Structure 1
Amino acid sequence: MNDRKSASVETEAATPRAADRILDVARDLFYREGIRAIGVDEIVRRAGVTKPSLYRSFSSKDELAASYLKVYEAEFWARFDEAVAAHPGDPRRQIVAFLGGVGERADVEGYRGCGMTNAAVEYPEGDHPARLVSENNKIELRRRLRRMAADMGAADPDTLGDGLLLLIEGVYISGQLFGAGGPAASVAKNADLLIAASLAAR
């Protein structure tokens, strides 16, 4: 009885570790290679687990892809909120600080853009779990940028917010195209110029 109980406890303790390994491997492969390009066989092989272990933790590859994007999104908002907290009450500096970080991350060789943008391109189906995570993130980012543009007194906050969103999305592709030394490195400066022009139009 005690042996069976001990084995059960060990199995329960091992499950989260297996799920974490699967998610870590999937995240790396999905980001670098694309979600559709990677099969579950490759994931379980690299994670050192069995296929049944994967399906005990994630009901499908689609759910695994959505889980990867939820982790990616949580880290995205953590960076965004960190930039906001660093400049309380100053939305202009908050946006410029956030975009400074975006530009730095994009200005390196091997940059693969935004995982959520990439997933939205891979999955045009509106009801796909990965698409839903990506789309909801972009909708919320647009809402926040428009609100911050209004808070700084922009003449047309919705247009400014959308312009900032377009700059961000431009970084994600130009960083992949140009790598280090490309236009992505100047996104914060360009955002500040766009904000200045909007404020001057009041």
Structure 2
Amino acid sequence: MAHAYDFPPAVEGTSAPSRLTSGRARGRILDAAYELFLQRGIRDVGINELITRAGVAKATFYAHFTSKDELVLAYLERCHQDMTVEAIMAETGRRTEDPTGRLMAIFDVLDGWFRQDDFQACAFVSTMLEMGPAHPLGIASIDYLAQVRAFIRALAEEAGLEQPDVFARSCHILTKGSIISAVEGDREAAIFAKRMAASLIRDHGGDAPMAP
């Protein structure tokens, strides 16, 4: 999910170098990257702009990140903490303990995300499409996306669905497709995807209610 960071630029000075600790400097850089990469993608944002936005010296930037790619990997990890499998697992678990119900709840979680005013595309889908599946950043994005598919497969096994791997691949296509549709402007994409997921569950021998 996207978050707005409204902090004034801070300039490192020789008068109080201890005020900007190593952890705080790294946090500023990541905050700037998180905001700019989500808004504009990876290639469009340069290191100099990131340094200016973070309000750190160039030497400080390179003390924490030896390259832009290394910063992007840290950015993807932050996105992973914000809205990926852990967040989805936790939220679906709060809604129901039934594995079939949790599969359906995935799309309720996505629906809430899509309807946020500051909704941005999934960082992993965006980065993979921008950088390509063979680029190290694309590979990292694919690995994060695979964790969602593994979660879906685990729920499918718990629900006793037939061919849980095939189901997980198919359901994962629905989640990624709904994200793309939401970016296009269809804020009801998750609702339509949920209906298809219910049909998919029944096709694999499960008992899913008809989605509204």
Q: TM-score range by the shorter chain?
A: 0.7 to 0.9
List 4+ stretches of structure 1 deviating above 6 A.
none
Q: Structure 2 matches for 1:99-118, cutoff 5 A?
A: 99-108=107-116, 111-118=119-126
Amino acid in structure 1 at the alignment position of 2:60: S
Matched, 1:94 2:102: yes
| Greater helix fraction, Structure 1 or Structure 2 | 1
Q: Take 1:87 and 1:158, find their aligned partners in 2: how far apart are those partners?
A: 24
Shift of 1:186: 3.5
Deviation string, structure 1 residues 45-99 (Cα, Å, up to 9, x no partner):
1111122211111111100000000111122233122134325652111122222
Aligned length: 192
Q: Structure 2 matches for 1:1-202, cutoff 5 A?
A: 11=18, 14-75=21-82, 76-86=84-94, 89-108=97-116, 111-124=119-132, 126-128=134-136, 130-180=137-187, 182-199=188-205
Q: Take 2:116 and 2:97, find their aligned partners in 1: how far apart are those partners?
A: 31
| 8 Å contact from structure 2 (residues 167, 204) kept in 1 | yes
Q: Take 1:162 and 1:187, find their aligned partners in 2: how far apart are those partners?
A: 14
| Shift in alpha-carbon separation, 1:30–1:94, aligned structure 2, 3 A | same
TM, length-normalised to structure 1 = 0.83
| 8 Å contact from structure 2 (residues 160, 206) kept in 1 | no
Amino acid in structure 2 at the alignment position of 1:198: H
TM, length-normalised to structure 2 = 0.79
Amino acid in structure 1 at the alignment position of 2:21: A
Deviates more, 1:184-193 or 1:72-81: 184-193
**Amino-acid identity (%):** 25
Deviates more, 1:63-72 or 1:119-128: 119-128
CA RMSD after TM alignment = 2.5
Gaps of 5+ in 1: 1-6
Q: Take 2:92 and 2:119, find their aligned partners in 1: how far apart are those partners?
A: 25
